[in-house]
A = this chain, B = another copy of it.
Amino acid sequence: MESIPTGIDSIIYFRVMSKPTKVTIQDIARFAGVGVGTVSRVLNGHPNVSPETEANVRKAIEALGYRPVVAAQTLRTRRSNVIGFITDEIATSPHAGQIIRGAQEAAWKGGKILLLVNTQWDPELEQAAVETMIDRQVDGLIYATMYHRPVTPPEIMRQIPSVLLDCFTEDASLPSVVPDEFNGGYEATKLLIERGHQRIGFINNTDPIPAQRLRMKGYCAALESYDLPFDEALVVERKSEPKGGYDGMMVLLDLPDPPSAVFCFNDRMAMGAYDAIRQRGFRIPQDIAVIGFDNQELIAANLYPGLTTMQLPHYEMGIWAVEYLLSMLETSEKDDFKQECSPPQVQLKCPLVLRDSV
């Protein structure tokens, strides 16, 4: 019986579905018997409202189902509560999701929302994206890259509070957050040393990017901390892909005195190293220990044995970038947006992910 629509049901249905005419601040002012100013005040949590007036207003808001029109607020206050998020490339790396998730969560917590543009390495699009966002009066901008590198973002970005994510300008003129590659290289090597290895190979990348240089430095620093000699024969550079890892490992294995452990620039190279080690009939980790970098779950967790690796702090960088931006916004409320001291250049630690390859 209850599924047969009655006339009343139909009417209700109709009312629910018909486009609700927008209820404004005026409506609730009238309903509550106060002025619009007062309504605005309770909406914005201003102090000077008597408790009972406030209660009345809130009741009216509830009763009429009031929802603010954000465009009107933005027009009036020049603040949109939107953060512009610009990425150079979003598709190829699974890390993009972590960065965005971190940024989005922090933004939501701060009452902001992300406006996203992916520029696919196109400088013109990048410029246009920033302009569009400024036109929309975003409160601030995040400029994110998919791997750690120096950048020269559009000058126009400097007009509003901005932070760089996973990248930096050479002159450190914009706040930035990147992974601590040096420490990552150091910790990776240190783990190997502490597990008793004395001869440790390093299969590095050939691309002249910060990660390449800094992880190498970390490797060297760790050796030095433990008074282990640096042997340049133990360091090989190859393309950062499985094939490179394979080739590099083969070279190390062919050494008169091969290493008992190897630090690979990233998990993909480690994947190739696995193949080389197996092919030569060695076992991981008993004969050769392997540590990677990046913690690409798809690879690291699925390799056998599971790959021990250093994790890039993408999620954390996303959070940091937004939170720092939020803090800039707060201070600029009063000080009319000016950079007091030099912008922070933050490095976030890469946590160790222990699996079974060391």
Q: Which A residues are closer than 8 A to B by beta carbons?
A: 19, 67-72, 74-75, 80, 82, 85, 90-94, 96-98, 100-101, 104-105, 108, 113-118, 120, 125, 131-132, 134-137, 159, 241-242, 268, 271, 275, 296-299, 302, 304, 315, 337
Contact = CB atoms under 8 A, between A and B. Distances in A.
Contacts of A120: 101, 105
A200 to B, nearest CB: 25
Contact of A296 (B67, B68, B98, B298): B298
B100 A116 contact: yes
Contacts of A94: 92-94, 97, 298
B115 A114 contact: yes
Nearest to A275: B304
Given A117-B104, A136-B70, A304-B275, A90 B80 contact: no
B100 A135 contact: no
A275 B275 CA distance: 12
Given A71-B75, A113-B115, A113-B136, 4 more contacts: A68-B135, A69-B75, A94-B298, A104-B117
Contacts of A75: 69, 71-72, 75
A82 B100 CA distance: 19
Contacts of A71: 71-72, 74-75, 80, 136-137
Nearest to A92: B97
B93 A118 contact: no
A108 B118 CA distance: 10
A159 B19 contact: yes
Contacts of A19: 159, 337
Given A93-B97, A136-B71, A302-B299, A104 B131 contact: no
4 A-B pairs with least C-beta separation: A94-B94, A91-B97, A71-B74, A71-B75
A241 B301 CA distance: 11
17 contacts: A70-B137, A71-B74, A71-B136, A75-B75, A90-B97, A90-B100, A94-B94, A100-B116, A101-B118, A104-B117, A105-B118, A113-B116, A114-B117, A241-B302, A268-B302, A271-B302, A298-B299
Given A70-B136, A101-B118, A315 B91 contact: yes
Contact of A69 (B68, B72, B118, B137): B137
B302 A242 contact: yes
Contacts of A68: 135
Contact of A113 (B117, B242, B296): B117
A130 B343 CA distance: 36
Contacts of A298: 94, 268, 296, 298-299
B113 A132 contact: yes
Contact of A100 (B69, B80, B118, B242): B118
